[in-house]
Structure 1
């Protein structure tokens, strides 16, 4: 199988970008283009910075492309920042938007729609915080989806004082752009019906995440702000399954969240004692079609919770509902896009606050009158 790599003309340079907080904490902004989708503003008190890293693991060949003798990854960091001037960071490049929308068959949308999407990130902001104090959260997207598909969640967490690392698992999504302009397309899409595909993917992603944790200190000048003893991982769909797989392989990951992902990794017979949250759509109700959560629930021997959003959809935990109207499709599920984002942010941040910061969050105790859409699984 040959790599699918192309030079992309007119790509946005992948460089440090920083974000503006909600008013009155905003940094310099540029008005979004007419009709451009706008992500919801972060709810925390901090401005949000972002930077993009290109990491190369020369200790292993790429598992999808035999000719690639090293595994290359693109990682976006979002982090709390000091206020300052800057220019808006793109959601993705025009070429990435085109390849994703073609891959997802959004025929009625302009192919540059996602490159015009307004984020809350800006270049030029300095990381804020004291050395060794900021928890780290790794985010892994669903299959065929880029790391940017979890931007609304990532920006919100960064505004609350977390460093967030979104990982593109190369050749598993429609477009990953490297700094020299090469674009890696979805080689793994040719194999998704193969026997054992899910187990292969979560194993690859677990290795990717461990490598990112190994290299982060040397790759980002702000890494000294991170508390290396307070690391969590969350993901959507197979990215959520990868969170469980990564925790089983890497003890540095202290807590994990699976957002609507069928799990594949086999947990140790003695169980996994670190905190874990299942957050799913109706598919993951008890007795639903997916039995993997029931299997793994029995082997989770530490703090654990299972919540379901019956009115949600598989994509409700991503940016997809927020962008659906601009893409000319009906938002998935029965909840509004804004409410889907609000629920996801609330439960993910509550879990992280409780298990990375030691802050008690009653929201996780059971049914909540503030979120009647969410029910214990």
Structure 2
């Protein structure tokens, strides 16, 4: 669950434990000469992409991590279609957020603002375009800001979705608010407590419901959103939170868990809304992370369990795309960054197109020669 940077046998890869208790980050240094700043892949959809940030305050509850704060503050980043093709590209993160994230990961030997220089594709504060578009909620892994899912968010927006990425305050290395305050990871001090994962996903589910309540009245472009077509996608604990949010809130019609151990329990009577597991080899049937085996039996509607050969925990995020800029050399046999991004974006978008836009995607029904890395579990997927 907690993302860490490991260096083993002379090879370094961005990875994370998806199991019950997060592990503190180990110190690490780059294993190769860093390149210049990274650039995220160009979205493949028909629309230019705009982005903006909202700051919402839930006065109905105290913050779960800072007991001195009597309201829950959230930053929500929106990505959406626009007709505007020129303008200032949105920053990936601030220099201070970059510094705190590199410190948390144990990365040394590169400028502290290196991640903030990552080139994005979305135009800052561009005017939204379109009408009655599906909404996709994104939730990142523990310790990571939602900006680590920017490549996926930009892709979905270019294909005609509004994307709302939630930074769950005090659960990542850094979240910056408009007055300059930087909320660091207070939850990191509690990650070994009993029941931590269960409490975390329930808190995130409450964050999601609050955002869905407030978004129509706080964003000028909210008229674009078709509130009858909402899905949630998350990575690691964010993926686990997708199931928690769906169990809690019937407005979320479909969900994807990308490589996250699950904590929210599905009702014993079953769960019929569409759901997809998309993971690495640790989530093969009978593998070291067995919660998908348990949950699969209780999913009674449309469902898929896909494992990407050669993927690791960060393959579903921007992590591999920025490794070169940090001087991190991928381990032998790990799925290449560009291919991992292509597969993630392709299968996530296909799932959403089928279940939010009623566009059938035949390659979700069986293995495809175009994507031989994708294994269909549990029947055609052996433990590796």
Counterpart in the other structure of 2:225: 226
Distance in structure 2 (CA, Å) of the matches to 1:92 and 1:292: 33
SS state at 1:114 partner: helix
Counterpart in the other structure of 1:371: 371
Counterpart in the other structure of 1:256: 255
**Which runs of structure 2 are paired with 1:74-93 in the superposition (5 Å)?**
74-93=75-94
The 8 Å contact of residues 309 and 335 in structure 2, kept in 1 or not, is answered as: no
Distance in structure 1 (CA, Å) of the matches to 2:321 and 2:124: 23
Counterpart in the other structure of 2:42: 41
Ranges of 4+ aligned residues in structure 1 off by more than 3 Å: none
Counterpart in the other structure of 1:182: 181
Distance in structure 1 (CA, Å) of the matches to 2:78 and 2:68: 29
Q: Deviations over 1:222-275 (max 9, x none)?
A: 001100000000000000000000000000000000000000001112111100
Distance in structure 2 (CA, Å) of the matches to 1:109 and 1:306: 38
**Per-residue deviation, 1:62:** 0.2
Matched, 1:128 2:141: no
Q: Deviations over 1:24-69 (max 9, x none)?
A: xxxxxxxxxx922100000001000101000000000000110010
Counterpart in the other structure of 1:242: 241
**Which runs of structure 2 are paired with 1:270-349 in the superposition (5 Å)?**
270-331=269-330, 334-349=334-349
The 8 Å contact of residues 85 and 125 in structure 1, kept in 2 or not, is answered as: no
SS state at 2:136 partner: strand
Q: Deviations over 1:351-375 (max 9, x none)?
A: 0000000000011112111100110
Distance in structure 2 (CA, Å) of the matches to 1:110 and 1:85: 29
The 8 Å contact of residues 51 and 125 in structure 2, kept in 1 or not, is answered as: no
Counterpart in the other structure of 1:139: 138
**Per-residue deviation, 1:84:** 4.5
The 8 Å contact of residues 169 and 183 in structure 2, kept in 1 or not, is answered as: yes
Q: CA RMSD in A?
A: 1.0
Counterpart in the other structure of 2:200: 201
**Which runs of structure 2 are paired with 1:343-358 in the superposition (5 Å)?**
343-358=343-358
Q: Which moved more, 1:76-85 or 1:254-263?
A: 76-85
The 8 Å contact of residues 241 and 261 in structure 1, kept in 2 or not, is answered as: yes
Matched, 1:112 2:113: yes
Distance in structure 2 (CA, Å) of the matches to 1:226 and 1:41: 24
**Per-residue deviation, 1:124:** 4.7
Distance in structure 1 (CA, Å) of the matches to 2:138 and 2:296: 21
SS state at 2:50 partner: strand
Q: Which moved more, 1:262-271 or 1:225-234?
A: 262-271
SS state at 2:306 partner: strand
Q: TM-score, normalised by structure 1?
A: 0.89
The 8 Å contact of residues 86 and 124 in structure 1, kept in 2 or not, is answered as: no
**Per-residue deviation, 1:123:** 2.5
Distance in structure 1 (CA, Å) of the matches to 2:163 and 2:250: 18
Distance in structure 2 (CA, Å) of the matches to 1:85 and 1:315: 31
Residue segments in structure 1 that go unaligned for 5+ positions in a row: 1-33
SS state at 1:88 partner: coil
Distance in structure 2 (CA, Å) of the matches to 1:196 and 1:36: 39
The 8 Å contact of residues 244 and 264 in structure 2, kept in 1 or not, is answered as: yes
Counterpart in the other structure of 2:382: none
**Per-residue deviation, 1:111:** 1.0
Counterpart in the other structure of 1:58: 59
The 8 Å contact of residues 62 and 68 in structure 1, kept in 2 or not, is answered as: yes
Q: Deviations over 1:57-94 (max 9, x none)?
A: 00000001100100000010000001253211100000
SS state at 2:221 partner: helix
Q: Which moved more, 1:80-89 or 1:343-352?
A: 80-89
Distance in structure 2 (CA, Å) of the matches to 1:279 and 1:123: 30
The 8 Å contact of residues 52 and 125 in structure 2, kept in 1 or not, is answered as: no
The 8 Å contact of residues 90 and 120 in structure 2, kept in 1 or not, is answered as: yes
SS state at 1:272 partner: coil
Q: Which moved more, 1:290-299 or 1:71-80?
A: 290-299
| Number of residue pairs matched by the alignment | 342
Distance in structure 1 (CA, Å) of the matches to 2:324 and 2:42: 18
The 8 Å contact of residues 137 and 164 in structure 2, kept in 1 or not, is answered as: yes
The 8 Å contact of residues 244 and 258 in structure 1, kept in 2 or not, is answered as: yes
**Per-residue deviation, 1:294:** 0.8
The 8 Å contact of residues 85 and 124 in structure 1, kept in 2 or not, is answered as: no
